[in-house]
Structure 1
């Protein structure tokens, strides 16, 4: 469990203390943007791999206390939310986004469209949703530490991006924030933007659905637990 805690602390620290602070600017000035991105990517991949291996190792640790077993109805509800979360993650990763620096060139003329109507940070929202459902349905300490770290990082990351983009682009990004939400579907429910499923892209939705199906079928083989 200590290894998992250290791995999660390392992964969270490099994103919050480096990427989410002025230290990033200082490092970019010192070593250049290209080298910084390469080093940060390597640290992130290494940190995540450490987290995953530590998580699987901690599942059999005597300190990995089991607090409860999720009922089947809760697992069924989580199954649906997992589909939504993976859809957000994959469709978001395959879609252009007004929240990245490249999209800044089109503000404020380009209307909010596609997956951004659902969440302006679809990838992070998808990770947060997947993490939350797995945290609730896995009543053991190792799962709470692992998925809790991913959930916290997703929420902190979304807010950090908003602050940086608003500081850099002012009213242009503020207009995007007014028409969208971080929480999936909130802006749609509030009437700030319309839901247009056709804008998601048939191919993107098919890729996400296929990935979800494969993960469900292979879940027990890959993660040593059935999907339901």
Structure 2
């Protein structure tokens, strides 16, 4: 008889945290047009961040503290080449997770936040870079840690971002109509598919931007500070 002693409560708690974040994040995104009319774009961006960021931080801290919970499905941390592969995949994931099309001043509500219809840079590779980046990050960390808890977390994150593909396209179609339909026809959610099919061309000069240098610096800082981050979250008794 199969034992499920490995299925600790933390598996369900992380799924609950992910679900709560997904509802708050996607729900507030869906209400953006209405909310901006009611309180203005800057105030709504601050409200969005005030709700989303604490939920995201709580989820990240819980993940760090319980990442080795459950059943150890595999152990490859001592296999030569695995650690460099994990770091390489993680670095690539951040290129997709934080593409240069994002305006950091708008994210911080310093400039008036707006909805943009982009079709340059990383968007030529995939219309949903955050989804692709999240999947790459999940693959890398699940490979490295190899526990059922990490696998559950990765499945939850990927499902949320796949929902985000549908949800994001639906919101942009509602806002831009035929203009977004034309962009959608020239791009693809699956990386490089539109390029392979001849619907899109890659313009390498669009990647020569300070924002991508910033991503590189961020990855190096994260690599350096990663042990400190693990130590800091371990002090949170949760």
Measured against the shorter chain, the TM-score band is 0.7 to 0.9
Secondary structure of the residue aligned to 2:190 is coil
Matched with 2:116 is 103
When normalised by structure 1's length, the TM-score is 0.74
Q: Deviations over 1:74-112 (max 9, x none)?
A: 55444333222111223345469xxx96435x9xxxxx3
When normalised by structure 2's length, the TM-score is 0.71
Q: Is the 8 A contact 2:15 2:156 kept in 1?
A: no
Mean alpha-carbon deviation: is it higher for 198-207 or for 174-183? 198-207
* Alpha-carbon distance between aligned partners in 2 of 1:52 and 1:12, rounded to the nearest angstrom: 14
* Alpha-carbon distance between aligned partners in 2 of 1:186 and 1:74, rounded to the nearest angstrom: 28
- In the alignment, structure 1 residue 47 sits paired with structure 2 residue 55: yes
The 5-angstrom pairing of residues 201-220 of structure 1 reads 201-220=208-227
* Alpha-carbon distance between aligned partners in 2 of 1:128 and 1:143, rounded to the nearest angstrom: 13
Q: Do the aligned partners of residues 117 and 73 (structure 1) sit closer, same or farther apart at CA in structure 2, a change above 3 Å counting?
A: same
* Alpha-carbon distance between aligned partners in 1 of 2:190 and 2:144, rounded to the nearest angstrom: 21
Choose which of 81, 86, 94 in structure 2 pairs with 1:86: 94
Q: How far 1:27 sits from its partner (Å)?
A: 7.3
- In the alignment, structure 1 residue 68 sits paired with structure 2 residue 102: no
* Alpha-carbon distance between aligned partners in 2 of 1:117 and 1:29, rounded to the nearest angstrom: 29
Structure 1 gap ranges (5+): 107-111
Secondary structure of the residue aligned to 1:204 is helix
* Alpha-carbon distance between aligned partners in 1 of 2:70 and 2:227, rounded to the nearest angstrom: 20
Question: Aligned-pair RMSD on alpha carbons?
Answer: 3.3
Q: Do the aligned partners of residues 218 and 26 (structure 1) sit closer, same or farther apart at CA in structure 2, a change above 3 Å counting?
A: closer
Q: Do the aligned partners of residues 26 and 95 (structure 1) sit closer, same or farther apart at CA in structure 2, a change above 3 Å counting?
A: closer
- In the alignment, structure 1 residue 146 sits paired with structure 2 residue 156: no
Structure 2 gap ranges (5+): 1-9, 105-112, 232-238
Q: Do the aligned partners of residues 222 and 176 (structure 1) sit closer, same or farther apart at CA in structure 2, a change above 3 Å counting?
A: same
* Alpha-carbon distance between aligned partners in 2 of 1:52 and 1:124, rounded to the nearest angstrom: 17
The 5-angstrom pairing of residues 181-220 of structure 1 reads 181-220=188-227
Q: Do the aligned partners of residues 12 and 208 (structure 1) sit closer, same or farther apart at CA in structure 2, a change above 3 Å counting?
A: same
